[in-house]
Amino acid sequence: MLTIDSISDVFSKNRDTKPKYKRLFDTIHQCVEQEVVGLGDPIPSERRLAEKLGISRVTVRKALSELIEGGVLDRKHGAGTFVAKRIEKSVSSVSSFSEDMAKHSLTPSSRTIEVKPLEPDAHLDLIFGLRTGQKVIQIQRVRFANALAIAYEVVIVPENVLPDSDHIGPSLYKDMERVGCRPTSAVQRIKALSANKVQSDMLDVAPGAAILHIERHGVIGSGRVVEYTNSYYRADSYEFVTKSTL
């Protein structure tokens, strides 16, 4: 549990020229990243933080509000402020982003950055087993949960697996399902990365922040690969889980 004393200790060590609200923001963020506090644990009240740290409640409120907007904390009306629980995504099943958010009672949305046809290179030819002259479609978009940017995706699919690439809906898998090409299995590779400039801009995190990268080859029942996706997730809001049996 994150105690008022542990916050005070870290806050006193973070002495620099930053505004006090930013020092408190950094202090709580550091405690969460270093697992001084567990997911779902309560945060001391604004009044207690202000009294212990010798700062105004307005300063405390500003720091907590920015942590809530960033998905680090979660405010429950009538109950208090808590460390936000990360969104869990199973890597043992194939589900869409929209379906994952619905499981957590979150509202999904997307912002499409670009949709464009590509002449496939040798790498994409190998992945999809394309016919001569067949093009692919690349889709770049940012995925949101309750208006918080959670993932940046670069999706590539053969042009014939989308009914209309000019009108892509909120769930790409539902669009692909309409032509019988929704993936039923996938090969996924996950690794940790430091966000580059593009990824940090898309996810609204600092350059160099820890993110999770998942590369996915989506496959239909015939064994044909119909999706090649590189997704970049905020590590402070997302975690992958798998279920194994012996």
Q: For residue 122, give every residue at least 6 positions away whose Cβ sits within 8 Å of its Cβ, in sequence order, or none.
A: none
Number of residues that make up the chain = 246
Strand intervals (E) in the chain: 73-76, 80-83, 87-90, 108-118, 136-145, 148-158, 185-194, 210-219, 225-234, 238-241
Q: What are phi and psi of 189, to 5 degrees?
A: -120, 130
Can you give the pTM of this predicted structure? 0.67
Q: pLDDT tens, 128-147?
A: 999 888 999 999 999 987 77
Tell me which of 164 and 2 has the higher pLDDT. Answer: 164
- Alpha-carbon dihedral sign for residues 85, 91, 93, 94: positive
Q: pLDDT tens, 175-225?
A: 999 999 999 999 999 999 999 999 999 988 888 888 999 999 999 999 999
The whole-angstrom distance between residue 98's C-alpha and the CA centroid of its chain comes to: 13
Tell me the Cα Rg of the chain: 21
87 forms bridges with which residues in the sheet? 238
Nearest Cα neighbor of 86 from 43, 44, 25, 33 is: 33
Which CATH number is associated with domain 4-83? 1.10.10.10
Tell me which of 102 and 232 has the higher pLDDT. Answer: 232
Q: Where are the domains of the chain?
A: 4-83, 87-241
Task: Specify the 3-state DSSP secondary structure of 77.
Answer: coil
The whole-angstrom distance between residue 143's C-alpha and the CA centroid of its chain comes to: 8
Q: What are phi and psi of 236, to 5 degrees?
A: -85, -5
115 forms bridges with which residues in the sheet? 139
What fold does the segment set 87-241 form as a domain? Chorismate lyase (3.40.1410)
Contact present, 102 and 133 (Cβ < 8 Å): no
Task: Specify the 3-state DSSP secondary structure of 138.
Answer: strand
**How many Å apart are CA 128 and CA 226, to the nearest integer?**
7
Q: Please provide the average confidence, as pLDDT, over all residues in the chain.
A: 85
For residue 152, give both structure tokens: 């940046």
The conformational region for residue 131 under phi > 0 = left, psi -120 to 50 = alpha, else beta, is: beta
pLDDT > 90? residue 154: yes
Give percent of the chain with pLDDT exceeding 70: 89
Q: For residue 78, give every residue at least 6 positions away whose Cβ sits within 8 Å of its Cβ, in sequence order, or none.
A: none
